Structure 1
Amino acid sequence: MMKYQYKSYDESIPRSIYPKFHIYSHVLRFPSSKMFIGGLSWQTTAEGLREYFSKFGDINEVMVMKDPTTRRSRGFGFVTFSDPSSVDKVLTLAAHELDGKKIDPKVAFPRRAHPK
Structure 2
Amino acid sequence: MNQALASLITSAAGTGAPTLTSSRYYGSATLTYTQQDGTQVMYLARRILPQAGIYQSVQSYAVVEGDRLDNLAAKFLGDPLLYWMICDANNSTDPDELTAPLETGRSILIPLSSGIPAGARNG
The alignment's TM-score, normalised by the length of structure 1, stands at 0.28
Richer in helix (by share): 2
Higher relative contact order (CA 8 A, sep 6+): 1
Normalising by structure 2, we get a TM-score of 0.27
Q: Select the structure that is richer in strand.
A: 1
